[in-house]
Structure 1
């Protein structure tokens, strides 16, 4: 009996593998492949390099659906480490974006509550844990952040980042 796989079996295995590789990751650790992809410029900035961090901002996440602080000011061009501390007993996340992007993503999450996703502008933090995001805010303006887990956004778990123009005075 020939033990080499048939061409059809190899094709089916490759098709199954390639289909799975396009799925988003579950709320959890980022896969190594995503960490090595080229950063994508977004209206609210771009993934930053840890060596370029100018300051760290601690943000507490709580089960009363709050971020503390909920309003942050940074300067255009700053690379910031957002250190997220989940003080609750539920999973929370911080998703950066424009008001429209956050609203669209929240609506998509409502339609597909088990949707798996993981992007550099998202950090998922299990209960009692800490997570970091390093982000370069290279565009001035007001941007939003929110927790899109379950109904947390609808319950008010959101905040704002004001990125002051590099030429403006503090």
Structure 2
């Protein structure tokens, strides 16, 4: 009995000595993800190579939109909701993923990758490309993202794969009262 208590204590101490590598929960002041069933509107967006159609969207605060994303291009593309500063930060993460070989022109090699060894990454030991405001769409595929916009403002929808935003793969999203 004495030995069993020592083993349990030792196990607890061992578990507590390892750091927890959970990423912080990301929150967005412009809204939140929502189930597709809650959508009040569906918007189809066609992704070409270095373009979105349509190039601009108007949405009302409080509206829940189901985005249907169709990649008709030959390259992997991303649909990401945010402001210019958020996109700039995410572009740096995507560049590191590309440099590591995890992101190729047509696919993402793995759903998760170890950022612990990458300088400048603040996501702990691992990160998945599973931000609720973002989805990757492979060539010829369709994906969806549903979002409730909770306040008025000017946002962008963009592809942050290295070079795509700079080549014009960005659209304006205006949320009005």
Q: Which has the higher contact order (CA 8 A, sep 6+)?
A: 2
CA distance in 1, matches of 2:42, 2:81: 16
Trace 1:116-155 onto structure 2 (pairs within 5 A): 116-155=128-167
Correspondent of 1:53 among 36, 39, 46: 39
1:44 and 1:98 in contact (8 A); partners too: no
CA distance in 1, matches of 2:162, 2:58: 28
TM-score normalized by structure 2?
0.68
CA distance in 2, matches of 1:111, 1:83: 28
Correspondent of 1:110 among 75, 91, 95: 95
- 1:136-170 deviations in whole A, cap 9, x for unaligned? 011101101111123211211111110011xxxxx
Report the number of matched residues: 141
CA distance in 2, matches of 1:59, 1:122: 14
Trace 1:50-89 onto structure 2 (pairs within 5 A): 50-63=36-49, 65-89=50-74
TM-score normalized by structure 1?
0.71
Which has the higher Rg, Structure 1 or Structure 2?
Answer: 2
Shift of 1:101: 0.8
Q: What value does the CA root-mean-square deviation take over the aligned residues?
A: 2.9
Runs of 4+ deviating beyond 3 Å: none
Gapped regions of structure 2 (runs ≥ 5): 1-9, 103-114, 116-127
Trace 1:21-60 onto structure 2 (pairs within 5 A): 22=22, 41-60=27-46
CA distance in 2, matches of 1:112, 1:56: 31
